Amino acid sequence: MSRIGKQEITIPSGVEVTKNGAILTVKGPKGSLQKVFRDDIEIKIADGKINLNIKRNDKFSKSLWGTYASHLKNMIAGVQTPYQKKLILEGVGFKSEVKGKELVFALGFSHPVIVKIPEGITATAEKNNITIVGIDKELVGSFTAGIRALKKPEPYKGKGMRYEDEVIRRKQGKKTT
């Protein structure tokens, strides 16, 4: 039994949740999100509450139960207040800037690294702080992780791109005798 899946999800005022076949749409003050849900989980929307129940009692359906409940909660929270991730770029000569719908990085390579900003996400770059904001938690997280993967922080001097709250374990380096 999924503890998360069993809980009722309340729909706050100003948010509208509709189901049309397999597509579930959440509309709120910041925008709207759509997601396709499999029919293994029964989603009931009534009286400002959402209930999820499994149709079949197999392992796959049970694993989707809590996952779908989390997706719904994230969609409802995202259309009310957007999700935000911050990256910090450390290192001499490392730069970032936004040009139109692209992020342009100077990461110590012989060429600038250009990353297109997907639809539904806004990115700002001030000095070496990059802020990514959007209503879709999954899209914000995967885009931020993709940017971080361009130059991961190294353990000796801490150069690279890291999350704002990430702590990098430092190594000692070579000792001279």
| C-alpha span between 9 and 101 (Å, rounded) | 36
For the segment 122-146, the average pLDDT, to the nearest whole number, is 95
Phi, psi (degrees; rounded to nearest 5) at 111: -140, 155
Distance of CA 20 to the CA centre of its chain: 25
Q: What domains can be seen in the chain, in order of their start residue?
A: 3-80 (3.90.930.12), 83-163 (3.90.930.12)
| C-alpha span between 94 and 91 (Å, rounded) | 5
pLDDT tens for residues 49-64? 999 999 888 888 888 9
Tell the residue number behind the tokens 């991961």, with chain if given.
Answer: 152
Using DSSP, state whether 173 is helix, strand or coil. coil
Distance of CA 100 to the CA centre of its chain: 22
At residue 1, the pLDDT reads: 63
Q: How many CA atoms lie within 13 A of 30 on its CB side?
A: 17
CB 152 within 8 A of CB 144: no
Ranges 14-18, 61-65, 80-84, 114-118: which has the least confidence: 61-65
pLDDT tens for residues 72-92? 999 999 999 999 999 999 999
| C-alpha span between 115 and 95 (Å, rounded) | 14
Whole-number percent of the chain with pLDDT over 90: 75
Instruction: Say if residue 16's pLDDT is above 80.
Output: yes
| C-alpha span between 45 and 39 (Å, rounded) | 15
Reported pTM: 0.90
